Each structure stands twice: as C-alpha cells, then as structure tokens.
Amino acid sequence: MSVQEYLDKHMLSRKLEDAVNAAVRAKTPDPVLFISNHMKKSVQSVITKVKARQILDSRGIPTVEVDLHTNKGVFRASVPSGDSSGMYEAVELRDGDKGVYLGNGVAKAVKNINDKISEALVGMDPTLQSQIDQAMIDLDKTEKKGELGANAILAVPLYRHIADLYGKVSPMLPVPAFTVISGGKHAGNNLAIQEIMILPTGANRFVEALQMGTETYHHLKAVITEKYGTHDCNVGESGGFAPNEAIRRAGYTDKIQIALDVAATNFCIGTRYDLDFKSPQKSGQNFLSAEDMVELYRELCNDFPIVSIEDPFDKEDWEHIKRFSSTGICQVVGDDLLMSNVKRIERAILEYACNALLLKINQVGTVTEVIEVVKQAKEAHWGVVTSHRCGETIDSFIADLSVGLSVGQIKAGAPCRGERLEKYIQLLRIEEELGDQAVYCGVDWKQ
Ligand code: 2PG
Ligand code: MG
C-alpha cells in the first residue's frame, strides 16, 4: 500500500484536523506534543511480535516471561507457580528432563508461545481480550490446557482494563491479607497451619492498610524474638498466635483482623488430622478427628479476632467443610478444595461447602475464564480472594485484576521481599492514580 493509499484508508487528514481542533479547544501550551499524542491514540493497536523466555520464580524454579510487542510499545508479563497443584487445575507444562533444572524447565511452553501462540496472535488487536483468549483456547484442544501449557497461555499481557471486560463494576481497592507467619509446607518450623495472615479491615485507604500491616509485621518480629528467641524456626505451635500481641502493640486492636490458611490436606491422614506432622518426635501420636478440628476452630475464633479460615479440612472432606461452613463462625475459603476449577466451584455452591473462593489465576489459564470464575463466585454471594503463589515473579497483574474485578481481598504474602511487595506497591500506585475516586473495601472486604 502506498503512503497516499494508507492516509486515505485511515482518513488521516481528517484525524489530523480533529487533533488540531482539540489542541485549540484545550488551549494547550505545547500544541505539537498534544497533536502527536492525539494522533497516536487514533492509530489502532496491533500485536507485532510475541517473544517468550524462561526466567526463574522466587524459589529459583523456571517459569515463563513474555514480551508482547505492539505498534504502541512493548509490554512484559510473567507467570507464578505454586506447590499445591491439584489434578483439577490447568496444567503447568514442564519439560520433565531431569538433567535440566531437575525436570522443571519450561522450554516447551516457551517454544509454544514463540511458535504457535505468536503465529496466532500477531496482527490481532491486543485490546480484544476475549478473541485473543479464544484464539489460544482453540489452539489447545485439551480441557486443562495440557498441550500448550497454562503457563504459556496466561503470560501474554494483553489488556489492563479488566473492569471494562467484567462489565459494570466500579473498581475497588482490596483488603490485603499479609502473611505474617508461615508454617505447613511453606516453612521449616513445626507449625502445622500454613499461613497466618493479618487483614487491616479498619483502614480507610489502601495506603493506610499497608502501613498498619507493615508496622504490625515489624512489631511481630520483636514479640517473637522476646518470646521464642531470635530464630524464625522457633515459631511453631503456640508461636503461631503471637500476631495478636503484635496487633495490640502496634495499637491496631479492632482495626486488624486475622485469617488462617490451614491447608489441612497436608496433614490429613485417612480421616484424621496430625497437627504435629512436622515434629519428628510427636508426629503420629496426637491425631484430631474432624469434629475435634471444628471445636479447635471454634475456640480459636473465640479467643482471637479470626474472621477467615482457608482449607480447614482435607480437600476431599466435603462433609466436614460443609458442617463447619454452616456454623457461620467465619468466612470459609476454598483453595485446595476448589483448585479454581469451575466444576468444583459449582459443586461447592450447590452444597454450601464454603463461602469464598481463593483465586489462583494460573490454575484457570486465561483472563476471560478468570472473569467467568469470579462472576460464578460473586453470583453465589461468595467472597473472592485473589492469591499469589509461593513461586512468584515480579509481575503485579493480580493487583490490577483485584481492583478491576473489585474482589474485596488479596493475599500476596508478607510486606517484605520484592516479588510480594510488587503487588502491594502496584495497589498503592492504582490508589494514587484513582485519587478521589479510590474506594478501599475496608470493612466491606467480603464484598
Ligand atoms: C496457598 C498458596 C499461596 P501455593 O496455599 O494458598 O500461599 O500456596 O502457591 O503453594 O499453592
Ligand atoms: Mg491455600
């Protein structure tokens, strides 16, 4: 096409005239800059190249990063990975070659992006999220995305205007759940519970929530050092409840509440629960029945300001999670129980098994499907917690996702370490950008 033909086809002389008129109306001090920005906006976006590479996540395990080149700039995104992979989540494609990164390489997923996905997406408008996701889903004919790998599909950073995709929602800043003590599979101590989190529900803005959470986190370090010595590894068993003391010392009693991720699947043996599973001397001697566990949770919620418990029972123990949810003591979150899987969520809604979804986007696969899953949960009046994975990257997409979908809650780890903080800092930026329009969920965290 000649330049003249291009100008005619895109009606550029008319667009230029519009830009000049807009500059006059705006009384801009810099008309050339104004007109060039105006013209840039009027050019349709198009994907020109998709380039993937293997990087490492926060645990030093390979994952996928993608550079999406468009005529308007280059955008980068990467995919997290977690421990609690289950058979119902989207498949994370790993090479399996034991000689390379102990079998965890993602060269195949990278190749799928650079060859098949790239070929399908180049030339498309990057703002057409559902068409792009459909193009990728069509490429992978398997139900769980095993052919291309969900790690290959999700990494393509196509669209930030998630609120528009969702439909009519006014964006809201979620309440952060800061992990302040790790146990279970995530830590080398003898605490069975995987995560103890603090929720600054009494803050008025996200920036205040971050300050409250971080101050409490630092007070907690002092409490632990005083009570259990200097080593984090000593924070087992009773040490898990030091956060309450830290909240008090920081001066935030009643403004910060507590949430647990028990991840009970990890210590369920048959129908019983071994809370000492990480302590070699005691393991196997003191089992609790599911009924005992219900009682334990009841006591904990009575003694501490616990407002949410994730995976209180084994992922197949539907009977007891239902029974516990029906007590209405606190929010009951399904993570391993649901694996962000549409069919498991459907069952949990029908059976009143839990009342909140832990959303791990790499267990779903595409942004379009993530939105569908959130709609499904919200229609059932569930809470939604967007979650990081233990293997994280510096990508902060889940922060934008949480605001765009107004999920109400986000769990992205402790207020320390770059890959965790990046999500919280992105929320700060979003709040700043929204200015007067910014709304922090606060006491309405269940949404
Ligand atoms: C969880 C997550 C995140 P993982 O259990 O909620 O903390 O862990 O990424 O190991 O599945
Ligand atoms: Mg969990």
Q: pLDDT (tens digit, 9 = 90+) per residue, 401-425?
A: 999 999 999 999 999 989 999 999 9
Would 359 be classed as within a structural domain? Answer: yes
Q: What is the pLDDT of residue 86?
A: 62
Q: pLDDT per residue over 302-313, tens digit each? A: 999 999 999 999
| Sequence-ordered list of residues with C-beta below 8 angstroms from that of 121, at least 6 positions apart, any chain | 47, 50, 132, 135, 136, 156
Is the CB of residue 196 below 6 angstroms from any atom belonging to ligand 1? no
One-letter amino acid for residue 364 of the chain: V
114: which DSSP letter? I
110 phi/psi in degrees, rounded to 5: -60, -45
Distance (Å) from CA 338 to ligand 2 centroid: 10
CATH number of the structural domain spanning residue 82: 3.30.390.10
Among all bound ligands, the one having the nearest atom to the CA of 177 is 1
Mean pLDDT of the chain: 88
Q: Using CA atoms, how far apart are residues 325 and 408, in angstroms rounded to an integer?
A: 20
Q: State how many domains the chain has.
A: 3
Among all bound ligands, the one having the nearest atom to the CA of 89 is 1
Residues 269 and 241 in one domain: yes
Residues 376 and 303 in one domain: yes
Q: What is the pLDDT of residue 230?
A: 63
Q: pLDDT per residue over 70-127, tens digit each? A: 888 888 888 888 876 566 677 788 889 888 888 889 999 999 999 999 999 999 988 7
Would 266 be classed as within a structural domain? Answer: yes
Q: What is the pLDDT of residue 213?
A: 95
Q: Is residue 185 exposed (0-12), middle (13-18) or buried (19+ Cβ within 10 Å)?
A: middle
Would 2 be classed as within a structural domain? Answer: no
Q: Using CA atoms, how far apart are residues 65 and 52, in angstroms rounded to an integer?
A: 6
Residues 295 and 203 in one domain: yes
Is the CB of residue 261 below 6 angstroms from any atom belonging to ligand 1? yes
Q: Using CA atoms, how far apart are residues 371 and 401, in angstroms rounded to an integer?
A: 9
Q: Which atom of ligand 1 is nearest to the CA of 81?
A: 9
One-letter amino acid for residue 91 of the chain: V
Query: Which residue range is the domain that position 436 belongs to?
Result: 165-444
Pair 90, 147: CB distance under 8 Å: no
Q: What is the pLDDT of residue 233?
A: 47
Among all bound ligands, the one having the nearest atom to the CA of 310 is 2
CATH number of the structural domain spanning residue 218: 3.20.20.120
Distance (Å) from CA 84 to ligand 1 centroid: 6
Q: Using CA atoms, how far apart are residues 418 and 394, in angstroms rounded to an integer?
A: 7
Q: How confident is the model at residue 151 (pLDDT cuts 50, 70, 90)?
A: low
Residues 363 and 222 in one domain: yes
Distance (Å) from CA 40 to ligand 2 centroid: 44
Q: Which atom of ligand 1 is nearest to the CA of 194?
A: 5
Q: Which atom of ligand 1 is nearest to the CA of 261?
A: 6
In DSSP terms, 22 is beta-bridged to none
Residues 288 and 361 in one domain: yes
Question: What does DSSP say about strands 272-274 and 268-269: parallel, antiparallel, or unpaired?
Answer: antiparallel
Residues 318 and 426 in one domain: yes
Q: Is residue 439 exposed (0-12), middle (13-18) or buried (19+ Cβ within 10 Å)?
A: middle
Among 57, 83, 332, 359, name the best residue to mutate to test ligand 1's pocket (greatest count of ligand atoms within 8 A of Cβ): 83
Is the CB of residue 263 below 6 angstroms from any atom belonging to ligand 1? yes
Pair 66, 109: CB distance under 8 Å: no
Residues 214 and 248 in one domain: yes
For the cut 80, the answer to whether the pLDDT of residue 229 exceeds it is no
- According to the annotation, is 97 in a ligand binding site? no
Among 185, 261, 314, 357, name the best residue to mutate to test ligand 1's pocket (greatest count of ligand atoms within 8 A of Cβ): 261
Pair 207, 442: CB distance under 8 Å: no
Of the candidates 213, 251, 209, 175, the one whose C-alpha atom is nearest the C-alpha of residue 447 is 175
For the cut 70, the answer to whether the pLDDT of residue 69 exceeds it is yes
Unique residue bearing structure tokens 């008090």: 248
pTM of the predicted model as reported, rounded to 2 decimal places: 0.82
Residues 117 and 242 in one domain: no
The last residue of one of the domains, among 117, 139, 159, is 159
Q: Which atom of ligand 1 is nearest to the CA of 179?
A: 7
Residues 235 and 334 in one domain: yes
Would 134 be classed as within a structural domain? Answer: yes
Residues 337 and 287 in one domain: yes
The last residue of one of the domains, among 137, 159, 181, is 159
Would 41 be classed as within a structural domain? Answer: no
The last residue of one of the domains, among 133, 159, 185, is 159
Chain centroid offset of residue 329 CA:
25
- According to the annotation, is 335 in a ligand binding site? yes
Residues 333 and 431 in one domain: yes
Distance (Å) from CA 219 to ligand 2 centroid: 25
Residues 117 and 183 in one domain: no
Of the candidates 399, 406, 407, 404, the one whose C-alpha atom is nearest the C-alpha of residue 427 is 399
Is the CB of residue 390 below 6 angstroms from any atom belonging to ligand 1? yes
Is the CB of residue 83 below 6 angstroms from any atom belonging to ligand 1? yes
Of the candidates 362, 359, 436, the one whose C-alpha atom is nearest the C-alpha of residue 177 is 359
Q: Which atom of ligand 1 is nearest to the CA of 387?
A: 3
Q: What is the pLDDT of residue 241?
A: 61
Q: What average pLDDT does the segment 137-160 reach?
A: 61
Distance (Å) from CA 171 to ligand 1 centroid: 26
Tell me which H or E stretch contains 261: strand 257-261
3-state SS class at 56: strand
